């Protein structure tokens, strides 16, 4: 099985985004397209002698093919050992767990997260570094630069590695170990949560409906919720990972998880509902006829963290992405702990967690996590909620309403305009940025603007600076509107508009969200002329 060298030419557009390189499956299926990117990655990484690499994905279409390519190239790179999930499966938080528990030098995650799967769907690849978290910008920028120069692919002429049974194989001098994808992750969960209390909750008749959306979270949820914690068989639905997610859109929000919402708003609904996404790093939590916003979820977990064994000593601090609502800021102030505001992207939380400054963190895009790994973690969040319900005796809704009583409600929504021609989206943002200096002190759509800037972040640990992370408009009453282009799509650009206002009056906290935020929608349109720029009368998705 000799190492072989294949000639190649660079592909344009292999710049990793917020969560790695994401493209249509048909793009990845081009000759040596994946190989070019992996070679660029391996070329910028140090010598692999004596090192361990972790490889796994969410099971979507092209996952198995890609893993075989990577295993051969990892052997050619000279890794001592590669750990690969059985069946090619590893959730994104599980990759982080395995990297950390086995002291690996890094991990390759094959996923397009919450994007659709199948032959006509999306595929993605990203690299996680030795702390288990996504590669920092200095690494992704180096990979992109190398992708424009790569001329040779180094691989091995070998048979496919059998992925469906646990065991050890070898290509050249590299040991390839097919591992149980759940084992390391489950061990971490046992050390964080009161499993006895959760078992008693289920024994009391508490009913949960967990929708794994035919994605990678299913095996993890079945193993922990049903097999270990005693939830009735059938608690986890859509539990088998499918290459096309069974035609479902694996994004856990009220729009795409409509079946779960239907069950939770029906007569005789379960006590709690939950869903995870394509690679199991996102989560949605639902009470009976009550949807929990991701921002409120983070705030509730922070407020009650001391009731959970893994966090009983208190939180060092919390962090949120800039577009996420300020609900957790208010909790942090009460707890007298720091609250950090970072750009969107989980990699920005890594330094804060590694330096011991942050314990919990979250993003408005249904991502919540802690310092147990360096990725957001969907099932972890659901177990956290179950632990809180078990030890407080409160329902999901009552826990959220308790947050609102103490801190007021941060009424919040995100409006997505998807698949906009990139040049239009770029022009919209350029026009907004050009207008920023003249906005403070003016009236727009009848509201007083006090802040207008383009968010920039200086990492408090390593001093790195990230510019142009989103246009922020702050109003005199504390409300705000944020404009940002997302890096997770594969077609055109996605404009995201984030809207937030604080409601202290309990009598007004149950007003329909979009009604409450209508003045901010009007302001956003007046500033950015969104309808004209996008050609859309309404957002593609509102969450």
In whole angstroms, what is the distance from residue 330 CA to residue 405 CA? Answer: 12
Cα–Cα distance measured from residue 123 to residue 22, given in angstroms and rounded to the nearest whole number: 6
CA dist list (Å): 368 to 197, 321, 351, 403, 489: 22, 11, 16, 17, 20
**The tokens of 495 are what?**
């404009």
The residues that are catalytic are 113
Distant-in-sequence, close-in-space partners of 490: CB < 8 Å, separation ≥ 6:
22, 23, 24, 112, 115, 122
Q: How far apart are CA 360 and CA 315, in angstroms?
A: 7
Pairing of strands 447-454, 443-444: antiparallel
Helix (H) or strand (E) holding 77: helix 63-77
Phi, psi of 121 (to 5 degrees): -95, -150
Please check whether residue 364 is in contact with residue 498, taking contact to mean a CB–CB distance below 8 angstroms: yes
Q: What tokens does 31 get?
A: 């000759």
- DSSP bridge partners of 286: 273, 291
What is the rounded CA–CA span in Å between residue 86 and residue 322?
A: 37
Whether the CB-CB separation of 366 and 277 falls below 8 Å is answered with yes
Distance CA 51, CA 175 (A): 11
State residue 328 phi and psi, 5-degree precision. Answer: -70, -25
Write down the residue that tokens 């956290």 correspond to.
384
d(CA 327, CA 476): 18
First to last CA, the chain: 52
Structure tokens at 311: 């966090």
Whether the Cβ atoms of residue 485 and residue 495 lie closer than 8 Å to each other: yes
Q: Which of 505, 305, 536 is nearest to 417 (CA)?
A: 536
Nearest to 377 by CA among 188, 509, 205: 188
State the virtual CA torsion across 254, 257, 260, 264 in degrees, nearest 10: 0
Other Cβ atoms within 10 Å of 250 Cβ, number: 35
As a whole number of angstroms, the distance between CA 236 and CA 230 comes to 12
Instruction: Please name which of 60, 31, 55 lies closest in space to residue 490, comparing C-alpha atoms.
Output: 60
CA angle, corner 324, sides to 318 and 330, nearest 5?
50
């Amino acid at each position: 099985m000799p190492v072989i060298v294949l000639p190649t030419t660079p592909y344009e557009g292999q710049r990793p985004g917020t969560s790695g390189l994401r493209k249509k499956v048909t793009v990845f299926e081009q000759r040596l397209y994946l190989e070019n990117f992996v070679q660029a990655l391996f070329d910028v990484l140090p010598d692999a002698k004596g090192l361990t690499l972790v490889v796994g994905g969410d099971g979507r279409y092209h996952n198995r093919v890609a893993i075989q390519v990577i295993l051969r190239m990892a052997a050619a790179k000279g890794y001592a050992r590669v750990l690969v999930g059985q069946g090619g499966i590893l959730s994104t938080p599980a990759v982080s767990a395995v990297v950390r528990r086995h002291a690996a030098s890094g991990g390759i995650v094959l996923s397009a997260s919450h994007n659709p799967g199948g032959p006509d769907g999306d595929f993605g690849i990203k690299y996680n570094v030795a702390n288990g978290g996504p590669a920092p910008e200095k690494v992704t920028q180096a990979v992109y630069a190398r992708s424009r120069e790569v001329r040779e692919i180094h691989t091995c002429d070998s048979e496919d590695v059998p992925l469906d049974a646990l065991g050890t194989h070898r290509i050249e001098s590299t040991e390839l170990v097919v591992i149980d994808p759940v084992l390391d992750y489950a061990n971490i969960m046992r050390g964080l949560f009161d499993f006895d209390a959760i078992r008693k909750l289920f024994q009391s008749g508490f009913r949960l409906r967990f929708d794994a959306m035919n994605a990678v979270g299913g095996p993890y949820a079945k193993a922990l919720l049903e097999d270990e914690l005693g939830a009735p068989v059938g608690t986890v639905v859509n539990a088998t990972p499918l290459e096309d997610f069974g035609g479902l859109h694996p994004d856990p929000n009220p729009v795409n998880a409509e079946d779960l919402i239907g069950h939770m708003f029906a007569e005789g609904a379960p006590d709690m509902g939950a869903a995870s996404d394509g690679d199991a790093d996102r989560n949605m939590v639902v009470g009976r006829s009550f949807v929990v916003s991701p921002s409120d979820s983070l705030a509730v977990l922070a407020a009650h963290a001391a009731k959970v064994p893994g966090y009983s000593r208190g939180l060092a601090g919390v962090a949120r992405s800039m577009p996420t609502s300020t609900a957790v800021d208010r909790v942090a102030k009460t707890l007298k702990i720091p609250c950090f505001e970072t750009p969107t992207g989980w990699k920005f939380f890594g330094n804060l967690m590694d330096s011991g400054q942050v314990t919990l963190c979250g993003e408005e895009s249904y991502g919540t996590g802690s310092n147990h790994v360096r990725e957001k973690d969907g099932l972890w969040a659901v177990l956290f909620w179950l632990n809180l319900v078990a030890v407080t005796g409160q329902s999901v809704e009552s826990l959220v309403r308790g947050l609102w009583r103490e801190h007021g409600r941060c009424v919040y929504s995100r409006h997505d305009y998807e698949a906009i021609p990139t040049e239009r989206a770029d022009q919209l943002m350029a026009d907004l940025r050009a207008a920023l200096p003249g906005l403070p002190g003016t009236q727009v759509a009848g509201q007083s603007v006090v802040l207008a800037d383009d968010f920039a972040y200086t990492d408090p640990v390593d001093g790195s600076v990230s510019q142009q992370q989103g246009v922020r408009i702050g109003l005199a009453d504390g409300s705000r509107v944020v404009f940002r282009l997302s890096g997770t799509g594969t077609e055109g650009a996605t404009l995201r508009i984030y809207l937030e206002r604080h409601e202290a009056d309990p009598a007004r906290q149950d007003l329909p969200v979009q009604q409450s935020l209508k003045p901010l929608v009007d302001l956003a349109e007046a500033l950015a002329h969104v309808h004209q720029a996008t050609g859309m009368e309404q957002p593609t998705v509102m969450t």
